[in-house]
Amino acid sequence: MTDIVLDAADLTAAPVARDRVLGRLWRHRSGRVGLVLLAVYLIVAVFGPLMVLWSPSSDVAYQNLFQALKGPSAQHLLGTDQLGRDEMVRLILGARYTLLIGVGAVALGLVVGVPLGAVSGFYRGWIDLVVQRIVDIVLAFPNFLLALALVAVLGPGLRNVIIAVSLASFPRFVRLVRASVLSVRERPFAEAARAVGVSRAGVLWRYVVPNCMAPVFVQVPLEVGSAILTAAGLGFLGLGVQQPTPEWGAMLGQAQNYIFSQSYLVTFPGLCILGAILAFNLLGDGLRDVFDPRVRAVVRRPKRQAT
């Protein structure tokens, strides 16, 4: 019923201009929390290492066994690990790796997945068949196992972790973009572009794909969250970024032995990972509501009905 009635030009689904996205996100409850949290993580990742230069622990090679396994104190706010390094400093240093892997993996997934999905959905035919079967195969493997297998083959290290994790996200983007393209290519403006003489390729990349990106934008933060989780898992198993480089997953892995004795070594890295994933998930929730045209005509229920 609402659709019939609220059918004026002002309330029809208007595309969200870039400058308004941020504003709407801010007003959205979870979106705001997600934005703030993400901002905190970014600041820590970028500026953090500069702010802790004073501490000897900022040097990855540093060790001080006399200070090992000391609980949180005035000197070491979050305690020290088994090699005497300041836990907080290491966590701060580790932020960049986590974010780098998450964002890098998803960026790679986008770069590969979006064009594949676009071409697959637009040209159909044998390209579509081949790409879809590849995607089916990749999706048949459990995420984590696939990443594991890849790292086992390629060897550990930051670059290989990014590649391995991106493998899990690109099929989702292919599917998402393909579905959007299949419907957007039927819209009159795509036909209109052809009518004025734009080439088929031009119609695909300049007209259809940009109009398919909204669901992709919503999916990106959710994928980053997922990527972070996978990366942490790999790090936990020692297959990620190698020691002594601080990476939260790896730190978690090393702290296994101290779960009961120095539990803070497990809690704090865990909380950091949790916080990062939460930030991206909330951001994703917010973006989804921002891009949904129906939710935009949000209506405040009047306090009382007509008497």
Instruction: Answer left, alpha or beta for residue 79, where phi above 0 means left and psi between -120 and 50 means alpha.
Output: left
- Which of 97, 170, 207, 291 touches another protein by CB under 8 A? 207
Question: Between residues 1 and 140, which has the closer beta carbon with respect to another protein?
Answer: 1
Question: Between residues 133 and 159, which has the closer beta carbon with respect to another protein?
Answer: 133
Q: Least distance in Å: CB of 135 to another protein?
A: 19
Q: Least distance in Å: CB of 178 to another protein?
A: 18
| CA dist., res. 50 & res. 61, Å (int) | 17
The region of 59-67, 112-120, 152-160, 296-304 touching another protein under the rule CB under 8 A is 296-304
The region of 99-107, 181-189, 216-224, 253-261 touching another protein under the rule CB under 8 A is 181-189
First to last CA, the chain: 22
Is 64 among the residues that bind another protein (CB under 8 A)?
no
Cα angle value 102/107/113 (rounded, 5°): 125
Q: Least distance in Å: CB of 29 to another protein?
A: 15
Q: Is the peptide bond before 244 cis (omega within 30 degrees of 0)?
A: yes
- Restricted to residues 4-43, the positions that interact with another protein (CB under 8 A) are 4-12, 14-15, 17
Question: Between residues 9 and 50, which has the closer beta carbon with respect to another protein?
Answer: 9
- Which of 63, 82, 211, 243 touches another protein by CB under 8 A? 211
The region of 54-62, 86-94, 152-160, 298-306 touching another protein under the rule CB under 8 A is 298-306
Q: Distances from the Cα of 303 to the Cαs of 25, 160, 306, in angstroms?
A: 26, 57, 10
Amino acid, single-letter form, for residue 32: R
The answer to whether the CB of 227 falls within 8 A of the CB of 97 is no
- Which of 78, 131, 193, 228 touches another protein by CB under 8 A? 193
Question: Between residues 17 and 74, which has the closer beta carbon with respect to another protein?
Answer: 17
Closest CA to 81 of 268, 275, 273: 268
The answer to whether the CB of 128 falls within 8 A of the CB of 179 is no
| CA dist., res. 133 & res. 174, Å (int) | 12
Q: Least distance in Å: CB of 214 to another protein?
A: 10
Question: Between residues 207 and 248, which has the closer beta carbon with respect to another protein?
Answer: 207
- Give the list of residues 6+ apart from residue 171 with CB closer than 8 angstroms, or none: 113, 135, 138, 139
Q: If you search the block for the tokens 């919503």, which residue do you land on?
A: 218
- Which of 54, 65, 197, 260 touches another protein by CB under 8 A? 197
Residue numbers at the binding site for another protein (CB under 8 A): 1-12, 14-15, 17, 187-189, 191-199, 202, 207, 210-211, 296-302, 305-307
